[in-house]
Amino acid sequence: MNTIHRLVTAVSLASLVPFAHGGEVEVLHWWTSGGEKRAADTLQRLVEEQGHTWKDFAVAGGGGEAAMTVLKTRAVSGNAPAAAQIKGPDIQEWGELGLLTDLNDVAEEAKWDELLPKQVSAAMKYDGDYVAVPVNVHRVNWLWINPDVFEKAGAKPPQSLDEFFTAADKLKAAGFMPLAHGGQPWQDGTVFEDLALAILGPEDFRKAFVDLDRDVLTGEKMVEAFAALKKLRGYVDNNAAGRDWNSATAMVMNGKAGMQIMGDWAKSEWSAANKIAGDDYQCLPFPGTQGSFAYNIDSLAMFKLSKDEDRQAQKDLARTVLEPEFQQFFNQNKGSIPVRLDQDMTEFDVCAQQSMEDFKSAAQGAGLVPSLAHGMAASSYVQGAVFDVVTNFFNDPSADPKKAAQQLAAAIQAVQ
Ligand code: BGC
């Protein structure tokens, strides 16, 4: 074959391939654990099937702090990715910078306004325009337990905070690690948030972490929440510092530890190991928070792009995220529930089914609260201030709960 012939053959072959002019989407996220990666791969596959190129921009680090730092650097140098996992009130901050593009045509065509719960669609819009697409709904207030370990220790799955500490004592006495925890600020913050929700209840939780009400932040219940955190510290091993959340999940899975306090992305690890919900492991609403649902919605915000084909790839990505096929496969692997309320849940496991039921009933009453530790309740500055106080408290055995509550209010005030 001479060169001309080869060229002609290549051109005619290309014309047979659908979407030969696919674009590229670079997607920033922090879904890097085994289970999370399986979920992210679903999106990559669906985008690639549409003829586009997926450029993975994964920045390891649970909770996403490292990813956000990298994103800021990239955005400042005028080189933002097509899509980035940006959540909650932070979407508004990025919108204000004028860097996000609008997805209104995709949203109108696919009727996002009708598909999504009102609070969710409002959070995805900046100045009335859709600039982000929601991926899922995670629940933060969960306790994960290994039933075999519980049985061996003669412990009972806890329904209240008192029962939680009783179970922890039993596990400890039987030689197990009661609580698998990773000492990282966002994990300390996640545990503290669950304790605060149990002790303050959803209304005061909202007053504290959404309204940033000084009286509630320094009140008796907040002091009690810090005291509970201090007590809980006694059931965490000495090697917790720096441990990743998925390593902690593995410790519960392999029978070393009895429990983990974590949002339901922890389920992604259990699913990836082919463990069965309700059988090999149990998910319990965090003791004392039954009826409440601390939500954490993952979402992809879209940046302005210059090339038409990349814009098209970006739109196809956004549309795909809210389609039922993606919602099912992704969420089954990610541990979350679909963000579409009309999704058929029959193929989901018992934890996801319970989560969906609890989400809907919490939404009807006062029980639905935004997670502070996962960027839903307040800005990343407030979140960072809370993490600092909580982590310092957690790592200082002599710290005083009353002082910590005062410090909490002061730290929040300082960043407002
Ligand atoms: C994110 C989840 C992620 C988890 C652990 C959360 O803040 O919303 O998608 O799985 O952090 O990294």
Tokens, residue 358: 């609890």
Region 198-214: mean pLDDT is 98
Element containing residue 4 per DSSP (H, E): helix 3-16
* pLDDT of 304 above 90: yes
Q: Is the CB of 265 under 6 A from ligand 1?
A: yes
Q: Is the CB of 138 under 6 A from ligand 1?
A: yes
Say which residues have a Cβ less than 8 Å from residue 182's Cβ, sequence separation at least 6.
62, 240, 242, 243, 244, 245, 247, 248
Question: Are 178 and 305 contained in the same domain?
Answer: no
Question: Are 303 and 175 contained in the same domain?
Answer: no
**Among protein residues, the one whose CA lies closest to atom 1 of ligand 1:** 63
Residues 225, 200 contacting (CB under 8 angstroms): yes
Question: Are 185 and 243 contained in the same domain?
Answer: yes
* pLDDT of 11 above 50: no
* pLDDT of 43 above 70: yes
Question: Are 231 and 290 contained in the same domain?
Answer: yes
Here the CATH number for the domain that contains residue 81 is 3.40.190.10
- What pLDDT, in 10s, does the model give residues 243-285? 999 999 999 999 999 999 999 999 999 999 999 999 999 999 9
* 63 CA from centroid of ligand 1 (Å): 5
pLDDT of residue 13: 46
Cα(102)–Cα(343) distance, rounded to whole angstroms? Answer: 25
Tokens, residue 386: 């809370």
Q: Is the CB of 65 under 6 A from ligand 1?
A: no
Q: Is the CB of 134 under 6 A from ligand 1?
A: no
CA 370 to chain CA centroid, Å, is 11
**Given 3-state DSSP classes, what are the helix, strand and coil percentages for the chain, each rounded to the nearest 5?**
50, 15, 35
Residues 140, 193 contacting (CB under 8 angstroms): yes
Neighbours of 325 (CB within 10 A): 10
Considering 349, 366, 388, which residue would you say is the last residue of a domain? 349
**Among protein residues, the one whose CA lies closest to atom 8 of ligand 1:** 298
pLDDT of residue 5: 54
Residues 153, 142 contacting (CB under 8 angstroms): no
Q: pTM, whole model, 2 decimals?
A: 0.94
Name the residue with tokens 């996002």.
112
Question: Are 390 and 284 contained in the same domain?
Answer: yes
Region 341-359: mean pLDDT is 96
DSSP state of 62: G
> Based on the structure, what is the number of domains in the chain?
2
Residues 334, 35 contacting (CB under 8 angstroms): yes
Q: Model confidence at 1, in pLDDT bands (50, 70, 90)?
A: very low
Tokens, residue 210: 């959404």
Name the residue with tokens 């929700």.
197
* pLDDT of 9 above 80: no
Q: Model confidence at 62, in pLDDT bands (50, 70, 90)?
A: very high
Nearest to 314 by CA among 39, 53, 49: 53
Question: Are 148 and 247 contained in the same domain?
Answer: yes
* 234 CA from centroid of ligand 1 (Å): 26
Region 312-325: mean pLDDT is 98
Region 402-414: mean pLDDT is 98
Question: Are 20 and 104 contained in the same domain?
Answer: yes
Domain span at residue 47 reads 3-137+298-349
* 264 CA from centroid of ligand 1 (Å): 9
| Residue 66: C-alpha distances to residues 97, 186, 313, 386, 399 (Å) | 20, 11, 26, 17, 28
Residues in the chain: 416
* pLDDT of 387 above 50: yes
Q: Is the CB of 194 under 6 A from ligand 1?
A: no
Q: How many CA atoms lie within 13 A of 339 on its CB side?
A: 28
Cα(195)–Cα(189) distance, rounded to whole angstroms? Answer: 10
High-pLDDT (> 70) share of the chain, %: 95
Q: Is the CB of 298 under 6 A from ligand 1?
A: yes
The alpha helices in 181-276, defined as continuous H runs, are: 185-209, 214-217, 220-233, 245-253, 266-272
Nearest to 314 by CA among 11, 102, 10, 66: 102
pLDDT of residue 82: 98
Q: Model confidence at 20, in pLDDT bands (50, 70, 90)?
A: low
Q: How many CA atoms lie within 13 A of 137 on its CB side?
A: 28
Q: Model confidence at 341, in pLDDT bands (50, 70, 90)?
A: confident
Question: Are 101 and 223 contained in the same domain?
Answer: no
Question: Are 195 and 143 contained in the same domain?
Answer: yes
Cα(217)–Cα(227) distance, rounded to whole angstroms? Answer: 14
Question: Are 205 and 189 contained in the same domain?
Answer: yes
* pLDDT of 3 above 60: no
Q: Is the CB of 139 under 6 A from ligand 1?
A: no
Instruction: Kindly report the backbone phi and psi dihedral angles of residue 139, in degrees, each rounded to the nearest multiple of 5, phi listed first.
Output: -105, 130
Question: Are 147 and 273 contained in the same domain?
Answer: yes
Q: Is the CB of 374 under 6 A from ligand 1?
A: yes
Q: Is the CB of 30 under 6 A from ligand 1?
A: yes
Nearest to 126 by CA among 339, 303, 369: 303
**Among protein residues, the one whose CA lies closest to atom 6 of ligand 1:** 63
Ligand 1 mutation target, pool 31, 245, 271, 387, most atoms within 8 A of CB = 31
Ligand 1 mutation target, pool 29, 260, 296, 387, most atoms within 8 A of CB = 296
CA 188 to chain CA centroid, Å, is 15
Q: Report the chain's mean pLDDT, rounded to a whole number.
A: 95
Query: Among the atoms of ligand 1, which is closest to the Cα of residue 375?
Result: 7
DSSP state of 98: T
* 257 CA from centroid of ligand 1 (Å): 22
Question: Are 265 and 308 contained in the same domain?
Answer: no
Region 124-140: mean pLDDT is 98
pLDDT of residue 240: 98
* 154 CA from centroid of ligand 1 (Å): 33
- What pLDDT, in 10s, does the model give residues 219-239? 999 999 999 999 999 999 999
Nearest to 333 by CA among 406, 248, 271, 395: 271
Collapse the DSSP code of 369 into the 3-class scheme (helix H, G, I; strand E, B; otherwise coil) and give the result: strand
Q: Model confidence at 7, in pLDDT bands (50, 70, 90)?
A: very low
Region 160-179: mean pLDDT is 98
Query: Among the atoms of ligand 1, which is closest to the Cα of residue 298?
Result: 8
Phi/psi-derived region of residue 278, left when phi > 0, alpha when psi is between -120 and 50, beta in every other case: left
Query: Among the atoms of ligand 1, which is closest to the Cα of residue 245?
Result: 5
Considering 306, 330, 349, which residue would you say is the last residue of a domain? 349
Ligand 1 mutation target, pool 190, 249, 265, most atoms within 8 A of CB = 265
Considering 330, 349, 368, which residue would you say is the last residue of a domain? 349
Cα(142)–Cα(335) distance, rounded to whole angstroms? Answer: 12
**Among protein residues, the one whose CA lies closest to atom 5 of ligand 1:** 62
Cα(155)–Cα(172) distance, rounded to whole angstroms? Answer: 10
Q: Model confidence at 21, in pLDDT bands (50, 70, 90)?
A: confident
